[in-house]
Structure 1
Amino acid sequence: NINIKIKDSANAHVNSINIVEGELVDELIDCLSIADSSVKIKISSSVSTSANTISITEGELLDETMDVKNHIRNSKIDATITNSANAFYSATMTITGGELIDEIIDTNEITNSKIEIKLTTSGCASYIGNNAGHTFTLTNGELIDEIIDCSNNISDNNPISITVENSANVITQNSSNHVPVLNITNSQLLDELVDCPNINNNSITVEISSSGNIA
């Protein structure tokens, strides 16, 4: 069994942060395969940043949670991310070719495995300043990348449950006193939840609430 818990860790509260081809937290699990195993991952109040200016280029706050090169078989995966990988800015925020949260699971094949993933109040960009105007720019990126990126097959009765609550939001405080400038080009706030070319004989449940919004 694998049990990973991260709480109140890897947060950066600075005047300015510039991430280029890097991250605050790299992969939690990086392996060739997982078989006949139980994996529990819990991240809470971690991997966030607050700064006057935030810039992310070809990087992320939270890299792939699980990078499994070959396959996941006959296993149970439970990943919960709460109040994490959020960015709070008071002037400008720019993401180019990056994201706040990279894939939760990145693998080639998933077979006969139970997967439960829940994101709550995570992967959000929030303006916290008092300036009359501020700028948020997202180019060729996303706030949250694919939840499950499986390059080959998901097969043989894999019950998969994905819940996304109050996540991947851009909060601008738009009002007469705060007029934001938003530049979003070739990007998404929330990417595909499951990206896989072949899904056979499976049960997949997806719940999204109060997510992927601009407010």
Structure 2
Amino acid sequence: MDELIDCLSIADSSVKIKISSSVSTSANTISITEGELLDETMDVKNHIRNSKIDATITNSANAFYSATMTITGGELIDEIIDTNEITNSKIEIKLTTSGCASYIGNNAGHTFTLTNGELIDEIIDCSNNISDNNPISITVENSANLITQNSSNHVPVLNITNSQLLDELVDCPNINNNSITVEISSSGNIALANSILNSSNMNLIERIIDTENTTK
């Protein structure tokens, strides 16, 4: 699923998005290269101003595989909000049981490989400023989990390189005069179940807030 909202700007508006039990996949072999199950939910080129944004994603963009799964340069969920500037707006985002990769089966060739990617990419990606009284609330529950199980005839192998399960929740160079609340529970986990984990430059959860300048 690509952008639900693709526009130049949002101003003096109320936007409510609800995605439930959608864009998940189940297959013997899953391969994602430079793609996503759920791409930018909101792609707002210029700015979000004087608005209220409410986005809820539940039980969506999950991948269930019974043999092998590979993600290269991709994600299960890409940015929820991708914009240049957020000003004087109220934003509430909640992800529940979404962006998870789960093994379902009993195959001897069970492997999971994640390279240069994430299960969930940045929740809010703002390239310029978040400023002037923006109450922002982000809740992530039981999401971005990698779940495996030990079958009767093999030991599962997990390969993770230059990747994260949950990337930055807020990525913005300048954050000024705002209130940001982040709640993460039961997320960004690997359920190994006697698996072999091969990892290099891996983070289960990347920076919560990635910024260069923060005031007030």
1:146 counterpart SS class: coil
Whole-Å separation in 2 of the counterparts to 1:60 and 1:122: 13
* Corresponding residue to 1:84 among 46, 60, 65: 60
Question: In the alignment, does 2:74 pair up with 1:112?
Answer: no
- For each residue in 1:81-125, what CA deviation from the matched residue of structure 2 results, as whole angstroms up to 9, or x when unmatched? 000000000000000000000000000000000000000000000
Contact 2:68–2:109 (8 Å) recurs in 1: no
1:187 counterpart SS class: strand
How big is the shift at 1:174? 3.6
- For each residue in 1:62-99, what CA deviation from the matched residue of structure 2 results, as whole angstroms up to 9, or x when unmatched? 01000000000000000000000000000000000000
Whole-Å separation in 1 of the counterparts to 2:99 and 2:154: 22
How big is the shift at 1:179? 1.8
1:186 counterpart SS class: strand
- For each residue in 1:173-207, what CA deviation from the matched residue of structure 2 results, as whole angstroms up to 9, or x when unmatched? 14665521111000000000000000000000000
- The 3 A distance-change label for structure 1 pair 33 and 91 is same
1:61 counterpart SS class: coil
Whole-Å separation in 2 of the counterparts to 1:193 and 1:70: 20
* Corresponding residue to 1:171 among 132, 147, 159: 147
Q: For structure 1, which segment, 168-177 or 133-142, has the greater mean C-alpha deviation from structure 2 after superposition?
A: 168-177
Q: Which runs of structure 1 show a deviation greater than 6 angstroms over 4 or more consecutive aligned residues?
A: none
Whole-Å separation in 2 of the counterparts to 1:42 and 1:131: 36
Q: Number of residues paired by the alignment? A: 190
- For each residue in 1:48-71, what CA deviation from the matched residue of structure 2 results, as whole angstroms up to 9, or x when unmatched? 000000000000000100000000
Whole-Å separation in 2 of the counterparts to 1:74 and 1:160: 13
Contact 2:130–2:174 (8 Å) recurs in 1: yes
How big is the shift at 1:133? 4.3
Contact 2:106–2:151 (8 Å) recurs in 1: no
- % identical aligned pairs: 99
Whole-Å separation in 1 of the counterparts to 2:189 and 2:112: 14
Question: In the alignment, does 2:162 pair up with 1:186?
Answer: yes
Contact 2:99–2:119 (8 Å) recurs in 1: yes
How big is the shift at 1:132? 3.6
Whole-Å separation in 1 of the counterparts to 2:105 and 2:173: 43
Whole-Å separation in 2 of the counterparts to 1:121 and 1:178: 28
Contact 2:40–2:80 (8 Å) recurs in 1: yes
Whole-Å separation in 2 of the counterparts to 1:178 and 1:40: 46
Q: Give the RMSD, CA atoms, in angstroms.
A: 1.0
Who is 2:51 aligned against?
75
1:85 counterpart SS class: coil
- For each residue in 1:136-168, what CA deviation from the matched residue of structure 2 results, as whole angstroms up to 9, or x when unmatched? 000000000000000000001100000000000
1:60 counterpart SS class: coil
Question: In the alignment, does 2:109 pair up with 1:123?
Answer: no
Q: For structure 1, which segment, 178-187 or 85-94, has the greater mean C-alpha deviation from structure 2 after superposition?
A: 178-187
Whole-Å separation in 1 of the counterparts to 2:119 and 2:125: 16
Whole-Å separation in 2 of the counterparts to 1:175 and 1:211: 24
Q: TM-score, length-normalised on structure 2?
A: 0.86
